[in-house]
Amino acid sequence: MISTNGGGDGKVAVCVTGASGFIASWLVKLLLQRGYTVNATAEMIDPAVKGTLNVLKSCAKYPSVKRMVLTSSVASVVYTGKPVDQDSVADETWLSDPEFCKEHKLWYPLGKTLAEMAAWDFAKENGIDMVTIHPGFVIGNKIYPKFHCWSVDVRDVAEAHIKAFDHENQVSASGRYCLVGSSVPFSQVLGILHKLYPTLPLADKCEEVNSLKLPEFEASREKAEDGLGIKFMPLEESLKDTIECLKEKGYLHF
């Protein structure tokens, strides 16, 4: 979310909420590059706590609710600030330290930790039988059907946000904008990756599943291109930049 106002130095001041997120971090970068004054907020703490408490308050109103199961994360477990080594074993007695999270700007773990702490306090005060689940990085098969890969580069998304509020576009920018740079089968994405990185260990083929028997269809780019002037990045370029970024940060080795 972004909002704007005139800064005291004559520059346009922009407030970007949720600035620690993937899209917003790119938005902040582009804004700063273009001379905007940016006020960035990692607005995920209050919503995390309030959202959890709202559910618990609703449960407390109905005696028929026997147990509340809260899906949390290992993020609220492991950031204790205490020394650990390869022999350390985190268990359910561990609780991330909010002050440690604040000091190191670990906003996601902080939000999860404060939400869980508030939930336990409320549950105990109101006699709610509560269980919390703390999954790690979740992987595995997804049960919903695969469709065309409707994708867009994060830089195009950030650019669209700037175009939407920029004074040159205020007259024309209104309503809703679909941002879909490409719409291709997953098998085509796999083919592009094989072409770009022949040594990358990938499957030879990708099974296309459409269990709902829905027809394949496109997403319009017309309004975004004509109204905001977005020039979508080609899928091949976006995929290449993504893989190179993962290699640079040590997530991929080949």
112 catalytically annotated? yes
Q: Which is the catalytic residue, given 112, 124, 195, 247?
A: 112
Which 3-state string (H, E, C) describes the chain? Answer: CEEEEECCCCCEEEEEECCCCHHHHHHHHHHHHCCCEEEEECCCHHHHHHHHHHHHHHHHCCCCCCCEEEECCCHHHHCCCCCCCCCCCCCCCCCCCHHHHHHCCCHHHHHHHHHHHHHHHHHHHCCCCEEEECCCCCCCCCCCCCCCEEECCHHHHHHHHHHHHCHHHCCCCCCCCCCCCEEECHHHHHHHHHHHCCCCCCCCCCCCCCCCCCCCCCCCCHHHHHHCCCCCCCHHHHHHHHHHHHHHCCCCCC
Active site residues: 112
